[in-house]
Amino acid sequence: MKCCVPAFFAYSTNYLIDTEHGVIMDVESTPAHRTAEVESTKTMIDRVESQFEIKPECLIGDTAYGTAPMLAWMVEEKDIEPHVPEWDKTGRKNDSFSSNDFQGNEETEEYLCPAGNVLRSEGRAFKNERSHVTKANTMIFRSRQADCVACPMRTQCCPNTAFRKIARSVHDADRDVARRIAVTPAYQRSRHERKKVERLFAHLKRILKLDRLRH
């Protein structure tokens, strides 16, 4: 027998926690949607800074907070260290090369593939300079089809396409900051502190039923 629970309108409750002292600094309710929950962090941090003149040195969170735009907000706008796992979708399900297997060169704005061929954002020079930034705030780097046709590594790189392309976020430098922090002892301590807070959240949700705010 199935028990039917009546539907009701509710919001997720999001908390900004001072992990060092175990204090809830701010709470923001949002629709039960991951993007809205992540964006609520900006609201809470700005509000705490405005009301109490307190700004965190670092922000601890899960992978949802490791998107390129969110990392850019933390690093460039707020000068907050991102102690969050990078949201990385460059890995492939098959055995072909991921974007991380390509070596980037910031000075020449190029990528070098494992076989030594170059990927560029434009195949020829234009009179008027172009930004090449897409609506998704990425730059697309493409290899030459002629290089890929005769490449012995083609089956590991682009087995189903005539050439290889890589999408690089305009916030890639901010992603590099998160990657560097992720291998530090400070990051490991932050992850431990987050686990302690997560246990408190589990009690709030399971025992006190504070995972949703009814409207």
Residue 212, pLDDT score: 56
Q: What is the CATH number of domain 10-85+182-214?
A: 3.30.420
Rounded to an integer, what distance in angstroms lies between the CA atom of residue 132 and that of residue 139?
6
Per residue in 168-183, pLDDT (tens digit) is 888 988 999 999 999 9
Helices and strands, number each (H, E), in the chain: 6, 10
pLDDT band at 127 (very low <50, low <70, confident <90, very high): low
Structure pTM?
A: 0.74
Query: Where are the domains positioned within the chain?
Result: 10-85+182-214, 99-169
Residue 215, pLDDT score: 45
pLDDT band at 7 (very low <50, low <70, confident <90, very high): low
CA distances from 74 to 37, 108, 177, 186, 206 (A): 16, 27, 10, 17, 31
How buried is 41 (Cβ within 10 angstroms: 0-12 exposed, 13-18 middle, 19+ buried)?
Answer: buried
Average pLDDT (94-98) is: 79
